[in-house]
Amino acid sequence: MKSKSQFRQVAVIGKYQASTSGSAGAASRQTLEGIAHYLMDEGCDVVFESDTAANMGLSGYGSMPVAQIGAECDLCLVVGGDGTMLGIGRQLAQYKVPLIGINQGRLGFITDIPFDQYKKALQPMLAGAYEEDARSLMQARVMRDGTCVFSALAMNDVVVNRGATSGMVELRVEVDGHFVANQRADGLIICTPTGSTAYSLSAGGPLMHPSIDGWVMVPIAPHTLSNRPIVLTNAAEVAIEIVAGRDASANFDMQSLASLMHGDRIVVTRSEHKVRFLHPKGWSYFDTLRQKMHWNEGVA
């Protein structure tokens, strides 16, 4: 049978934390198997990501670790929520494999195809009718006495936080080597346009269209109210030094964590890699915002 899909080998990745026992586990396995069978009917060779296959008890299918998916697959379907997509997006960015998100989470800003509509949405996409959307990444390093002691990629944000039981932290902020300010606050967020709808938004930061080559720097509960969010070019290098405060930490997409000491510098630069998202034809970022932010509710 001639393939109906322009993507020959397709990987499926499920939510790693999904329950593998009881009715919830059975439903999750059934969901993933249903998607796999649909893809095979469309002429795709389907593999599951290794941890997904092992954790969900999916036997009888091919499986690959993430690096092999990056090297060999033409497309990756991520079934879950935005957290699942953030994790796999960081890992696959270097391979330039396009990603499609099927939403089984809550918000779904980047896993934007509702599960109950995936067949209708995927059929034209597999045939080549889709919108492509490239999202930038940040490369962050924790420098201690001139040595890098921790590094990570972030698609959403890099967040420096005070300790859970301590007072404010004092942070010295530089952009491209130029002193910006010493800030006393609960913390500081550097976010990408993708991350502008996450923690940054709740801290008072602006929404940024994903096509903008910029970042937002947002203080968290600053002591000086004139410390406001500022938009930066993502070609800049941002350095945040821990001046004072106990038990400060750095989070990268809220998944990686580094404990910090006085004098540590968190250095953020633009990654050379981007994440490739595919969306249904006619997709609009503003449609996503309107739906997820519940704009126009109550308007006739």
Active-site amino acid positions? 82
In order of 12, 47, 167, 203, the CA distances from 73 in angstroms are 10, 9, 48, 39
Whole-angstrom distance, CA of residue 247 vs CA of residue 16: 30
Phi, psi angle pair for 3, to nearest 5°:
-65, 135
- CA 45, CA 209: separation in Å to the nearest integer? 35
C-alpha pair distances (Å), 229 with each of 85, 109, 120, 188, 288:
27, 22, 41, 10, 24
241 Cβ partners below 8 Å, 6+ apart? 171, 172, 173, 174, 263, 264, 265, 266
Beta-strand (E) ranges in 145-255? 147-154, 157-161, 169-175, 178-185, 187-191, 214-220, 230-233, 238-244, 249-252
Where is 280: in which H helix or E strand?
strand 265-280
Calpha distance 38→49 (Å, rounded): 17
> Which value, in Å, is the radius of gyration of the alpha carbons in the chain?
21
